[in-house]
Amino acid sequence: MIDPWSSAIVNYEKLIEEFGIKPFQDLLSDLEDPHILMRRGIVFGHRDYGRIVKAIREKTDFAVVTGMMPSGKMHIGHKMIVDQLIWYQEKGAEIYIPIADMESYSARGIDFPEARRIAIEEYITNYIALGLDPDDKNLHIYLTSRNKTVTDLAYKLAKRVNMNEMKAIYGFSGSTNIAHIYTPMIQVADILHPQLEECGGPKPTVVPVGPDQDPHIRLTRDIADRFHSQFKFISPSSTYHRFITGLTGGKMSSSKPKTAIFLSDTPDVALKKLKSAKTGGRESLEEQKKMGGVPEDCVVYEMLLYHLLQSDSQLKEIHQQCREGSIMCGECKARAAEMIRAFFKDLEKKREKARDKAETILEA
């Protein structure tokens, strides 16, 4: 069982084996210009993504749904979702971004006005600053508590889900509060409502998520099948991305500030944090020259891979230099730190500009 509300690290290989997630690699060549995170294996798995590939190739309607739970600060790991959304926006997708204020209330105790504030100031502002086009007519950002279409659908769908099933999927117990037990139904409705007649009818839909969110995907796919005769839902597709490693080596988490570079950090703080990150370097310079470093165990390399270096050839060069011991961590870190400083400087400016827009974009 995977608990979507914990921040435990997930074993990706096990997930592929045990839960029937397919390797993304297998359909990479079917995409004309796969996203950099797909190309680099960070998006590692999928369910039924072939439908989305087809829709992209044939330029037919499809939707992307990916929510945010407004409960804390946005860190650089969260940027991965936005990067993918921008790519989907370029492909003409209908984009739905539910803000899970009901979930943050039931699971984290955050009240509704505060969730709204966090969503606007922290998340939506950063989404726009990172490059999501706020003026796209196909973009829908809404608070789940205010979206009657979603809450009504959730209620209807809940009629055919029972407590034993919720216990088996999420591990809920007799002491779990009922609001928390119900919120997965809201997420199911978030994912399926783009297929209602009033939203354009059945269409392929993809949900890009971290693997910890897979329980919601499995539940949604089951329910979509159960209600097929009534709503003609097409079972939603999903993709799964690896999590970025935290600065200290475990998972990057907003609730553990030492592990994270927050998007609201100043350029100098981001630089300092990166300089303090765990590397895959050896005990001594001598040893590193002789044996080379281990980029696969290096947070700095991961930052380059996920976020900072767009050029595959430059990335390959650093990987090679690290492996053969011709570059030392000090120099390599200093280079990456300058890159992150430049990135954060630019983001800081863009965030200033995005602020006003973020205030007005909420649909409900």
Q: What is the contact surface with ligand SF4 in residues (CB under 6 A)?
A: 279-281, 293, 295, 298, 300-301, 322, 327, 329, 332-333
- Least Å from the CB of residue 270 to ligand SF4: 16
Quickly tell me which residue has 């965030």 as its tokens: 351
- Least Å from the CB of residue 336 to ligand SF4: 7
Nearer to ligand SF4, 153 or 298 (CB): 298
- Least Å from the CB of residue 327 to ligand SF4: 5
Nearer to ligand SF4, 107 or 318 (CB): 318
Give yes or no for a contact between 68 and 123, defined as CB atoms under 8 angstroms apart: yes
Nearer to ligand SF4, 119 or 261 (CB): 261
- Least Å from the CB of residue 300 to ligand SF4: 4
Nearer to ligand SF4, 147 or 245 (CB): 245
Please give the Cα distance from 253 to 73 (Å, whole number): 9
How many Cα neighbours within 13 Å face the side chain of 116? Answer: 14
- Least Å from the CB of residue 224 to ligand SF4: 43
From residue 318, alpha-carbon distances to 18, 134, 235, 243, 326 in Å are 35, 36, 42, 21, 9
How many Cα neighbours within 13 Å face the side chain of 313? Answer: 0
Nearer to ligand SF4, 118 or 300 (CB): 300
Q: How many residues does the chain have?
A: 364
Give yes or no for a contact between 164 and 196, defined as CB atoms under 8 angstroms apart: no
- Least Å from the CB of residue 306 to ligand SF4: 13
Q: Per residue in 250-271, is it b (16+ CB within 10 Å) or e — as a string?
A: bbbbbeeeebbbbbbbebeebb
Nearer to ligand SF4, 236 or 295 (CB): 295
- Least Å from the CB of residue 83 to ligand SF4: 21
Nearer to ligand SF4, 335 or 357 (CB): 335
How many Cα neighbours within 13 Å face the side chain of 343? Answer: 25
String of DSSP letters for 89-125: HHTT-EEEEEE-HHHHHHHH---HHHHHHHIIIIIIH
Please give the Cα distance from 249 to 60 (Å, whole number): 42
- Least Å from the CB of residue 324 to ligand SF4: 10
- Least Å from the CB of residue 273 to ligand SF4: 14
Nearer to ligand SF4, 215 or 293 (CB): 293
Please give the Cα distance from 23 to 112 (Å, whole number): 38
Those residues whose C-beta lies under 8 Å from the C-beta of residue 9, and which sit 6 or more positions away, are 243, 250, 251
Nearer to ligand SF4, 37 or 299 (CB): 299
Give every strand in the sheet of 63-65, ordered side by side. Answer: 22-23, 43-47, 237-241, 205-209, 63-65, 94-99, 139-143
Phi-psi region of 43 (alpha: psi -120 to 50; beta: other; left: phi over 0): beta
Give yes or no for a contact between 70 and 118, defined as CB atoms under 8 angstroms apart: yes
